[in-house]
Amino acid sequence: MTYSQILGTGAYAPKRVLTNRDLEALVATSDEWIVSRTGIRERRIAAEGEDTSDMAVVAARHALAMAGCAPEELDMIIVGTISADMPLPSCAALVQAKLGARNAFAFDVAAACAGSLYGLSIADRFIATGGARRALVIGAELLSRLVDWTDRNTCVLFGDAAGAMVLGPTEDSARGLLSIHLHSDGAAADILNIPGGGSRTPPSVDMLERKLDKVHMNGREVYKYALRVLPLAIEEALSANGLGVGDIDHVVSHQANLRIVEAALERLGVPMEKCWVNLDRYGNTSSASLPISLDEANRAGRLKQGDLIAMMAIGAGMAWGAGLMRW
């Protein structure tokens, strides 16, 4: 049987740092409030002229270099994003052109903060069934252009960044992706969305004045929802593979909020030391968050061959999931 294995990881975050103190000058907030409620201390903001695909390409080049894979060897490119450069074509198509990955087909996945986990799941199945030998999965978000900088409920939470993973096949059943389990609940669409700018409410002066092109969120409902489903998703992945919580060596999670990650792991009985935490430096980078965490843990030498890595992510939709892989 063929499994897919991660051959390389990469990440990129823009240079400009926006601290909680900087935000105090923009909205009625405080460093103490943001740190105590979210764990976030600073986030990165893309430069003028820097696009989502630009960030994605830098992260991808790092992952390709680690994998020893030339762009022309790629068979497929998936970008998980809700902040593509433009509505049409996909961010992945622009990435394909910028990388010169002329043999790859490319498309975006719109699963918000779960986008890179969804993308990983698709790439895994293409590789396992022989439909692709080299896949590039990217999570890239430029959320600083999608938040209302006068809304303290949302603008303190998000940051810009990209993370990338290159996958290839392995016959070694002791390594690679074991399984990924995905879920969606469109009935909860109203707790986190960008209501305007699509076909229902196309761009107009009225739409812009009502800020319908910006992120709208019921933070408390998102928090409760995430805590309800994330531990269940990890348990589902463990049970599907005949494994238990004690088998987990590392957790690589989407980082929306430190309290969500801490509470989810506490419910599971997994110590926080097993989780790579970086949202203090980047904030919530949506689909980029999981691959950036994986890349940082990888480059820090934390992941040893054979280690069991549990992944979890949740975002607007709601869309969520969990997966397991042997490093």
Is 284 in the active site?
yes
Residue 223 exposure: Cα atoms within 13 Å on the Cβ side: 11
Q: Binder to ligand ACO among 145, 223, 240, 245 (CB under 6 A)?
A: 223
Among the listed residues 69, 113, 155, 275, the single catalytic one is 113
Contact between 219 and ligand ACO per CB under 6 A: yes
Tell me the C-alpha distance between 259 and 262, whole Å. Answer: 5
Q: Binder to ligand ACO among 2, 17, 37, 50 (CB under 6 A)?
A: 37
Q: Give Cβ neighbours of residue 74 (< 8 Å, ≥ 6 apart).
A: 64, 99, 101, 103, 104, 134, 135, 136, 166
Contact between 41 and ligand ACO per CB under 6 A: no
Q: Binder to ligand ACO among 122, 156, 177, 279 (CB under 6 A)?
A: 156
Q: Binder to ligand ACO among 4, 9, 38, 52 (CB under 6 A)?
A: 38
Contact between 284 and ligand ACO per CB under 6 A: yes
Give the interface segment with ligand ACO, choosing from 139-147, 201-209, 213-221, 227-235 (CB under 6 A): 213-221
Q: Please report, as residue ranges, which positions from 108 to 147 form the binding site for ligand ACO (by CB under 6 A).
A: 113
| Angle between the N-to-C axes of helices 258-268 and 219-240, in degrees from 0 to 180, rounded to the nearest 10 | 40
Helix (H/G/I), strand (E/B), else coil: 235: helix
Contact between 39 and ligand ACO per CB under 6 A: no
Contact between 315 and ligand ACO per CB under 6 A: yes
Contact between 222 and ligand ACO per CB under 6 A: yes
Give the interface segment with ligand ACO, choosing from 39-47, 166-174, 216-224, 265-273 (CB under 6 A): 216-224
Q: Give Cβ neighbours of residue 107 (< 8 Å, ≥ 6 apart).
A: 77, 78, 79, 90, 92, 93
Is 181 in the active site?
no
Among the listed residues 20, 62, 254, 298, the single catalytic one is 254
DSSP per-residue letters across 133-202: S-EEEEEEEEGGGTS-TT-HHHHTTB-EEEEEEEEEEE--TTSEEEEEEEEE-GGGGGGEE--SSSSSS-
Contact between 152 and ligand ACO per CB under 6 A: yes
Contact between 4 and ligand ACO per CB under 6 A: no
Tell me the C-alpha distance between 112 and 27, whole Å. Answer: 25
Contact between 161 and ligand ACO per CB under 6 A: no
From residue 60 to residue 99, the character string flagging contacts with ligand ACO as x (rule: CB under 6 A) and all else as - is ----------------------------------------
DSSP per-residue letters across 255-301: -S-HHHHHHHHHHHT--GGGB---HHHH-B-GGGHHHHHHHHHHHTT
Tell me the C-alpha distance between 150 and 89, whole Å. Answer: 30
Q: How far is the CB of 224 from ligand ACO (least distance, A)?
A: 9
Is 275 in the active site?
no
Tell me the C-alpha distance between 65 and 29, whole Å. Answer: 41
Residues annotated as part of the active site: 113, 254, 284
* Footprint of ligand ACO (CB under 6 A): 29, 33-34, 37-38, 113, 152-153, 156-157, 192, 217, 219-220, 222-223, 226, 256-257, 284, 314-315
